[in-house]
A and B are shown apart, each in its own frame.
Chain A
Amino acid sequence: MTVSNFKRSLRREGYALIAPLTLFLLALLGFPLVVDIVYSVSRVGFENIRRPELSGFGNYAKAIADREFWSAAWFSLRFGLLASLLEVSLGLALAIFLAPLLGKRSWLMAILMLPMMVAPALVGLMYRLILHEFVGVAPYYLDLWFGDSPAFFSNDNAFKTLVVVESLQWTPFALLILHSAYAAISLDVREAAALDGAGAWRRLVYIDLPIMAPAIAVTFFIRFIDSFRVFDNVYTLVGAGAGGATTSMSIYIYQAFFKAGDIGLAVAASMLLLGGSFVILFAVNWAGARAARA
């Protein structure tokens, strides 16, 4: 067999290996994407689901003119930013402060990772019980100790409640990544700095944190992307309650389709969300490439 023949058969075999996955993705992502695009520029309802009439950009105009669309986008953005900021700060503080304990005992880490094993939807339901004004354990103790307990789901407080719920569940994720990043810093670097007379605090600020900066940034972006598309815990804990103050982007699309039956609006909002995701992805990849060059 000649070399070029061998290469060709290697490629042919490679295509055979990736074919099943590619076909699967074409069916469950490619085809839906085409449907999304077509429906988003069509007048379509359940009665003409197979024969949508092309109608231009009316669905997009409707979404963009909808105040609830923007309030959902604003909710998701604020929620994503605040929750990931909290998770990264808390995770970083814990990773560094608890490093001497966690380094030697992996079972301690296993306990701290447990929250990630619980379905976010169930966590939402559990907090429904915990925060319930009559049978909830949180109002009970707040009443006992402070003589008062806040309305967790009022228009003003629902957002804060949800951010705390999300952060408590996903701080472990930040902790896990940042713990490995911190443990990976070589002892030599720290010892050299200590010999030069740098105190613990200076070593943290001038050595540890700069070395960990890429890991911190990656953790933040992963958590942001995940929290931005939040659905499960918000839906099970408050639904679109609190006067619509807790409608995330995902919940907006879900409701446009399942509650209002407005297919055109739902798919147009989906496409806008996809566009937004691309912008974020490009920004992250661009920042990553820049950081790699620097």
Chain B
Amino acid sequence: MTKRLLDALRWLVFAAAAFAMNFPVISTFVTSLKGEAEISASPSLWIQRPTFDNYRAIFAMQDRFDILHFLGNSLVASLLGSVFAILLAFPAAYGMVRNEVGRKWLLPLVVNLRAVPLIIFAIPIYLMYQNLALLDTRLGLALILCLVNVPLALVLFATAIAELPLEIEEAARVDGADTRRLLIHVVAPMSLNIIAATTVLAFIYSWNEFLFGLMLTTSRATPVSVGASFFFAASGGGVRWGVAAAVMILATLPPLLLGLTMYRWIGRSMTAGAVKG
């Protein structure tokens, strides 16, 4: 009897924790389905008259409030940033593990990079971008997102490659494969799981990046994490809370869905390096 009571209590605590920690998204979602009049009349979590008006209103907005433009920027920059990070980190991880080059200095340097606030490099990067005409471009943003993701990708790949059986690679060498072909046709196919998990994680982190998006873009390449805040700037008739809420749900949906559906693959990678340090 006490065991069942304890189990019930556990479910209760789980529900309370899940509700409290996910509250921002839940509450914002509720608001996004209310009309403007209802939002100011009753901010409660109950929706009297559900409506999709806010979502419809967003797509009618233009210029500084063009949500599709922001979403597109985020999509392109995040995809490029993730792919760049993987293309740089995968061969490097292989070289570190199998050729034992840079394992003593480059690996710890990059891993510890995660503990250094990147804002330290932000000002020179801004000035450099100004000179290279990379300010307010998706490519410029993607390069920074790559920088943000390289440490995680390197740790994940180095760990995964070290666990691969050497025999297969040796057999391929005997058959005359050079390193490039070995990487593409043998090592990468064996590492597909970790490459996929890293891509998803890197994409989520890129999508959610804010500081560099704020500093390095003004309009053409503004990512949605920054663009969403435009909807909070009271213009004319004040903030349209329903529209702002709907914008945030749209901006949050891609990483949220990825996280929910891919949890089994990325769950362990999210804390990688945390325990091994």
Contact = CB atoms under 8 A, between A and B. Distances in A.
Partners in one complex: yes
Given A113-B263, A277-B116, A140 B10 contact: no
Contacts of A273: 117, 119-120
Interface in A66-90: none
Interface string B63-87: 0000000000000000000000001
B260 to A, nearest CB: 6
Interface in A104-153: 106-123, 125-130, 132, 134-137, 139-141
A54 interface: no
Interface residues of A, number: 97
B58 interface: no
A36 B123 contact: yes
Range of interface residues on B (Cβ < 8 Å): 35 or more
B128 A231 contact: no
A225 B115 contact: yes
Report which residue of A109, A118, A225 has the largest number of chain B beta carbons within 10 angstroms of its beta carbon.
A118
A97 interface: yes
A35 interface: yes
Contact of B215 (A18, A97, A135, A254): A254
Nearest to A165: B24
Interface in B12-43: 13-14, 17-18, 20-25, 27-28, 30-31, 39-40, 42-43
A36 B95 CA distance: 31
Interface string B126-154: 11100000000000000110110010001
A15 B10 CA distance: 53
B74 to A, nearest CB: 10
Given A15-B95, A106-B264, A218-B275, A28 B143 contact: yes
Contacts of B209: 119
A120 B248 CA distance: 12
Contact of A94 (B17, B120, B121, B228): B17
Contacts of A271: 120
B120 A274 contact: yes
Interface stretch (A168-176, A189-197, A203-211): A168-176
Contact of A121 (B204, B225, B255, B274): B225
Contacts of A110: 259-260, 263-264, 267
Contacts of B100: 14
B275 A112 contact: no
Contacts of A281: 112, 115-116
Interface string B234-250: 00000001001100100
A219 B275 CA distance: 8
A229 interface: yes
A65 interface: no
B6 to A, nearest CB: 9
Which secondary structure dominates where chain A touches chain B?
helix
A37 B98 CA distance: 36
B128 A31 contact: yes
B137 to A, nearest CB: 15
A236 interface: yes
B123 A219 contact: no
Given A111-B18, A253-B119, 17 more contacts: A10-B99, A17-B94, A22-B106, A24-B150, A32-B125, A106-B267, A109-B263, A114-B22, A115-B22, A118-B25, A119-B252, A132-B241, A137-B30, A231-B119, A254-B122, A274-B120, A281-B112
9 contacts: A25-B147, A114-B21, A115-B25, A117-B258, A118-B208, A121-B225, A231-B119, A250-B211, A281-B116
Interface of B: 7, 10-11, 13-14, 17-18, 20-25, 27-28, 30-31, 39-40, 42-45, 87-89, 91-92, 94-96, 98-102, 106, 110, 112-117, 119-128, 143-144, 146-147, 150, 154, 179, 204, 207-211, 214-215, 225-226, 228-229, 232, 241, 244-245, 248, 251-252, 255-256, 258-260, 263-264, 267-268, 270-271, 274-275, 277
Q: Which 7 A-B pairs have the closest CB atoms?
A: A14-B99, A17-B95, A14-B101, A32-B124, A119-B208, A117-B259, A229-B117
Interface of A: 10-11, 13-18, 20-22, 24-25, 28-29, 31-33, 35-36, 39, 49, 94, 97-98, 100-101, 106-123, 125-130, 132, 134-137, 139-141, 168-169, 171-173, 176-177, 180-181, 215, 218-219, 222, 225, 228-229, 231-232, 235-236, 249-250, 253-254, 257-258, 263, 266-267, 270-271, 273-274, 277, 280-281, 284, 288
